[in-house]
Amino acid sequence: MTQTLTLARPDDWHLHLRDGAMLKAVLPETTRHFARAIIMPNLVPPVVTGADARAYKARIEAALPEGAHFTPLMTLYLTEETDPEDLAAAYAAGLITAVKLYPAGATTNSASGVADFARVQPVLERMAEIGCPLCVHGEVTDRSIDIFDREAVFIDRVLDPIRRAVPGLRVIMEHITTKDGVDYVRASPENLGATLTVQHLMLDRNDMLVGGMRPHYYCLPILKRRDHRDALLAAATSGDARFFLGTDSAPHPTHAKESECCSAGCFTAPVALACLAQTFEDAGALAALEGFTSRHGPAFYGLPVNSETLTLTRSDSPVHFPAQIANGADPVTVFTPGRPIYWSAP
């Protein structure tokens, strides 16, 4: 029999929309299901000033599908030259919701990120004063550190010192991938939260590597061992309000994902809620889904829960999703977890 599950309309607290033709292609896949999203600023060139954020927001709003009810929550890209007063003015005006810290070279379009963290401490102190949250890509980029250990080392070398130096700073560890990340959040005060992605809740590194490399599972931070995946799932389904959804949906043209040097990112926006419903059901925690997708994030950011609702439907047979979405001559492949999904969103 068909089952339904009605949620307060979800939000996505970590989203890549890109720009230009790609923005227009992928935006409807988010606005169909999500009311708000934290928009990543790693364009080329990046979104580093209030004026940049205003212009990018205008381009997003111009690309919205007709009738869409969606609010882009803008961020600034933190650099060693960020002007604290420009940032503060943008935050006071409601133009930005957070600031994003990329360690230089950590992921796609992160070359302008921070290399010397001491140089951004005045900005972080100003953010703490005004209550502006810091979203963190939590990986070191030291080539001597194994790629599977970079999150744990980042916590010890970078994040914990930052939070000790600026204890009032509100921080979101984005797309955590390890038990280390889960344990650090749980041991911290309430001003530290974490987002989790669809792929890191459903997959481990064996799914990506055993039997051949699956490029559409390659993302940064990279998938980890099964025990880390299990810790993430336990956190997401626990009801702990410090853990909430940030899909990190990251579109790339299929040819870039399937190239010799594979681009990092999973395009999960079209299937995120269906995959999460299946994952939570399989874990016996379907009752926890609304908190994770719709309530914990607004609470952490100090925003109201959406008044609209969204109803998911469960079928008796697996649901089939489009393999790609059109983007001119550069289609984008949609994430598939390699297991049957019985849930769908409208």
Is the CB of residue 326 less than 8 Å from the CB of residue 333?
no
Question: Looking at the 3D structure of the chain, how many domains does it have?
Answer: 1
Cis amide bond preceding 45, omega within 30: yes
From CA 78, how far away is CA 192, in angstroms rounded?
Answer: 19
| SS3 category, 37 | strand
* Residue 345 main-chain phi, psi, to 5 deg: -115, 155
What is the predicted pLDDT for the residue at 110? 65
What is the predicted pLDDT for the residue at 111? 67
Active site residues: 248
What is the predicted pLDDT for the residue at 172? 98
What is the predicted pLDDT for the residue at 106? 67
CATH number at residue 274: 3.20.20.140
Interior/surface letters 93-126, b for 16+ CB within 10 angstroms, e for the rest: eeebbbbbbbbeebbbbbebbbeebeebeebbeb
From CA 245, how far away is CA 183, in angstroms rounded?
Answer: 18
State the residue range of the domain holding 247: 3-344
All residue ranges of the chain with pLDDT < 70 are 1-2, 106, 108-111
What is the predicted pLDDT for the residue at 103? 87
3-class SS letters over 61-86: HHHCCCCCCCEEECEEECCCCCCHHH
Q: Taking the model in full, what pTM does it have?
A: 0.96
Over the stretch 286-339, which tens digit does the pLDDT of each residue have? 999 999 999 999 999 999 999 999 999 999 999 999 999 999 999 999 999 999
What is the predicted pLDDT for the residue at 1? 53
